[in-house]
Amino acid sequence: MLVTGKSLLEHAQAHNYAVGAFNVNNMEIVQAIIEAAEELNAPVILQASQGGIKYAGIEYIASLGLLAAKNAKVPVALHLDHGTDFDEVIKCIRHGFSSVMIDGSRFALEENIEFSKKIVEIAHAVGVSVEAELGKIGGTEDHITVSDADATFTDPAEAKYFVEKTGVDSLAIAVGTAHGVYKGEPKLDFDRIEEIRNTIDVPLVLHGSSGVPYDALRKAVSLGICKINIDTDVRASFAKAVKEHLNLHPEEIDPRKILGPARELMKETVKEKIRVFGSDGKSWL
Ligand code: G3H
Ligand code: ZN
């Protein structure tokens, strides 16, 4: 069933777990995520980045995501990930996304507030939820690259001011994670998560969660993280399965035989994450 991002995150917050938000670019990834969520009876978020939308086309991504969500036996939100462009965000709202992320993290505080607030007014008028980002998450996610030197942690007092001014439904915070593959082991600032949690009420979102040790993710959830974003680890499973299959069967030309095992491995990866986030068995349908 298609639901808003807000309803998913409020349920997660009330029941002390995090919803997995997995990036999608094509049919096999969408199916892997939905099958994993249904098998574990878990609410889930399908999210597409602007890069994913550019690759597949908005009509395809929206149609795939909405079809999957509407037919799913679990609650599913279709979410825009890292919307940096006003027109792109509006396009997603028009195509039926039930949630959008407005990423104004490249701006100074007041500009980020202005940018995010504008989207909140429009999205809320049509029942779409809004996630915003405060602080700068390092690494590369599609078209956004933030160097280690530019990455800045979220300030709790600023987060309070930002949420009050914008009216966003959830907040992505920078607390030590980074997008893409980690060079060393990421160190999360748990005290900061706790302080932000004690300062603001809206559900908190953790980006750059691939490659983060599971104990750290579990602790982050126990401290108030309600949505966990995963892209890189699913990509890695996709590539691993395709490579393995083609190494074993170099003559293979049937896309179904190449992509089928990739869909299976991605599903297993998504299931593993769902269990770590504690969202298994949390569907209310
Ligand atoms: O917005 C998407 C996620 O933050 C992706 O993070 O590169 O660690 O999978 P990841
Ligand atoms: Zn992200």
| pLDDT tens-place string over residues 102-150 | 999 999 999 999 999 999 999 999 999 999 999 988 888 777 788 777 7
**Could you tell me if the CB of 186 is within 6 A of ligand 1?**
no
Q: Residue 232 CA: which ligand 1 atom is closest?
A: 9
Residue 138 confidence (pLDDT): 83
pLDDT digits (tens, 9 = 90+) for 55-112: 999 999 999 999 999 999 999 999 999 999 999 999 999 999 999 999 999 999 999 9
Testing ligand 1's pocket by substitution, the residue of 100, 179, 273 carrying the most ligand atoms inside 8 A of its CB is 179
pLDDT at residue 237 is higher than 80: yes
pLDDT at site 166:
98
Ligand closest to Cα of 22 equals 1
Tell whether ligand 1 has an atom less than 6 A from the beta carbon of residue 83.
no
Give the confidence band of 176 by pLDDT, cuts at 50, 70, 90.
Answer: very high
| 66's tokens | 């909405």
169 pLDDT tier (thresholds 50, 70, 90): very high
Q: What is the pTM of this model?
A: 0.97
Strands (E), the chain: 19-23, 44-49, 76-83, 99-102, 129-134, 138-141, 144-146, 170-173, 178-179, 204-206, 225-230
Lowest mean pLDDT among 23-27, 33-37, 141-145, 259-263: 141-145
Q: Evaluate whether 238 touches 259 at the Cβ level (below 8 Å).
A: no
Mean pLDDT, rounded, for 31-35? 98
* pLDDT recorded at residue 243: 98
Centroid of ligand 2 to alpha carbon of 135 (angstroms): 12
Give me the chain's average pLDDT, please.
Answer: 96
Strand, coil or helix: what is 213? coil
Task: State the pLDDT at residue 18.
Answer: 98
Query: Does the beta carbon of 51 lie inside 6 Å of ligand 1?
Result: no
Q: Which of 50, 102, 207, 266 to mutate to test the pocket of ligand 1 (most atoms within 8 A of CB)?
A: 207
Assess whether the C-beta atom of 261 lies below 6 angstroms from ligand 1. no
CA gap 245, 261 in Å, rounded: 8
Using the mean position of ligand 1's atoms as its centre, give its distance from the Cα of residue 134 in Å. 16
**CA 127 to centroid of ligand 1, rounded, Å:** 26
| Candidate from 137-141, 236-240, 260-264 with smallest mean pLDDT | 137-141
CA of 247 to the centre of ligand 2 (A): 32
**What residue's CA is closest to ligand 1, atom 2?**
229
Percent of the chain with pLDDT over 70: 100
What domains does the chain contain, in order, with CATH numbers? 5-234+268-277 (3.20.20.70)
pLDDT in the model for residue 148:
78
pLDDT on residue 147: 79
The reported pLDDT for the residue numbered 252 is 98
Strands 19-23 and 225-230: parallel
Cβ within 8 Å of residue 71, ≥6 positions away: none
- Stated as kind and residue range, the H or E segment containing 14 is helix 5-14
**203, pLDDT greater than 90:** yes
State the catalytic residues: 81
Cβ 154 under 6 angstroms from ligand 1 = no
Residue 237 Cβ < 6 Å to ligand 1: no
Does position 151 have pLDDT exceeding 90, yes or no? no
